[in-house]
């Protein structure tokens, strides 16, 4: 039975091939078969995690708590220079210029990205908005969030900052950013499950040297990453504690 690798469903579509190259790269380095399974929904992925069908995962920070504290996963590495930040934007035509001006009943365009949605909701609290007094529209991706703002189908939208920055200049010029988070300590993390224990050391060293090897560098580039940084157990526990304070 090959071990199973999966990726947080919020990966950018442009990077799908990068994750397949990454899988090939790891199999060569470790000399074991690994199967890559991609998901288009967090719910389905979580169900498979709970059923023990995942051994290695590039996880959304929001899911790290369940993986580490309930499923016995261990954080190995984090992507270098890459933290998850959230942008709240409105249409450039909107009369709203700050979060505090948003009103109950507002239509919110969001995605199922759990960390971005959680941070976004926290940044709406200064306006006394929560899920009980706004209308949620959960969309497939950030392009659709932007479109619903431009078409006037939503009053406010949540974006992963990177997703926002990757929108075309034209689309961005039609929007106005109300707030952009500067958390700095919430990020994705590569976690290995119990079945990976015997390969953990080899895997970590393969990851940490990836950016030094031309093949590894090209794989990283295709994944939209510059390299990996080691994460200690306390680093991951700290991030999980922090996220726990943000979840009700």
Catalog residues that contact other proteins under the rule CB under 8 A: 99-100, 122-123, 125-128, 179-185, 234, 237-238, 241-242, 244-246
Give which of 5, 17, 152 is closest to 90, Cα–Cα: 152
Cβ proximity of 160 and 83 under 8 Å: no
State in angstroms the smallest separation of the CB of 97 from other proteins: 12
Cβ proximity of 196 and 55 under 8 Å: yes
Nearer to other proteins, 34 or 116 (CB): 116
Nearer to other proteins, 14 or 128 (CB): 128
Q: Decide: helix, strand or coil at residue 104.
A: coil
State in angstroms the smallest separation of the CB of 137 from other proteins: 23
Nearer to other proteins, 13 or 184 (CB): 184
Token look-up 């992925």 returns 45
State in angstroms the smallest separation of the CB of 8 from other proteins: 21
DSSP state of 166: T
State in angstroms the smallest separation of the CB of 130 from other proteins: 10
Nearer to other proteins, 102 or 167 (CB): 102
Six-digit token pair at 41?
């929904």
């Amino acid at each position: 039975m090959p071990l199973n690798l999966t990726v947080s469903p919020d990966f950018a579509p442009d990077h799908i091939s990068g994750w397949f190259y990454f899988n090939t790269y790891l199999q060569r380095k470790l000399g074991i078969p690994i199967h890559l399974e991609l998901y288009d929904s967090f719910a389905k992925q979580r169900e498979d995690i709970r059923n023990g069908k995942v051994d290695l995962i590039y996880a959304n920070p929001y899911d790290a708590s369940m993986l580490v504290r309930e499923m016995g996963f261990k954080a190995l590495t984090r992507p270098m220079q890459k933290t998850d930040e959230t942008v709240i934007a409105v249409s450039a035509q909107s009369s709203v210029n700050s979060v505090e001006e948003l009103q109950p009943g507002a239509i919110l365009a969001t995605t199922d990205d759990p960390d971005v949605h959680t941070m976004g909701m926290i940044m709406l609290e200064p306006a006394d908005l929560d899920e009980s007094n706004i209308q949620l529209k959960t969309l497939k991706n950030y392009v659709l969030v932007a479109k619903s703002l431009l078409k006037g189908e939503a009053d406010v939208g949540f974006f992963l900052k990177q997703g926002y920055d990757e929108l075309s200049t034209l689309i961005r010029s039609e929007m106005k950013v109300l707030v952009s988070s500067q958390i700095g300590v919430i990020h994705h993390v590569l976690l290995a499950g119990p079945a990976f224990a015997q390969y953990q050391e080899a895997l970590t060293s393969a990851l940490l040297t990836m950016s030094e090897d031309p093949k590894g560098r090209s794989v990283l580039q295709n994944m939209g990453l510059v390299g990996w940084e080691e994460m200690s157990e306390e680093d991951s526990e700290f991030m999980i504690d922090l996220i726990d304070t943000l979840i009700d």
